[in-house]
Amino acid sequence: PSIEDLLKKLEKNPNNINLIIDIADKYFSIQNYHSCMELLLDNYPKNKTKVKEKMVELFEVLGNSNEYTIMYRKKLSQIMFS
């Protein structure tokens, strides 16, 4: 399914963490890292463990020196400890 189709499904079921992860994976696969990470951060309160695990997995793929890893690891830390 396309990102648009998945987003429509998410509108109908906004708490579906598996769908959120699928959309994030789709964004990541087309190198839209900003949308991927923002979607995950926005949904962090819905399932903290799954979102954190997914973000850490993506950070590992991007590498520690990647600008998105650096920026979003910081944002994730801020949201986790706020």
How long is the chain?
82
Specify the pTM.
0.95
**pLDDT tens-place values along the chain, 82 residues long:** 999 999 999 999 999 999 999 999 999 999 999 999 999 999 999 999 999 999 999 999 999 999 999 999 999 999 999 8
Using alpha carbons, select from 82, 75, 2 the residue that is nearest to residue 40.
75
Q: Are 59 and 72 in contact (CB under 8 A)?
A: yes
Tokens of 20: 């959120």
Q: Which amino acid is at 74?
A: K
Distances (CA, A) of 2 to 5, 6, 23: 5, 6, 9
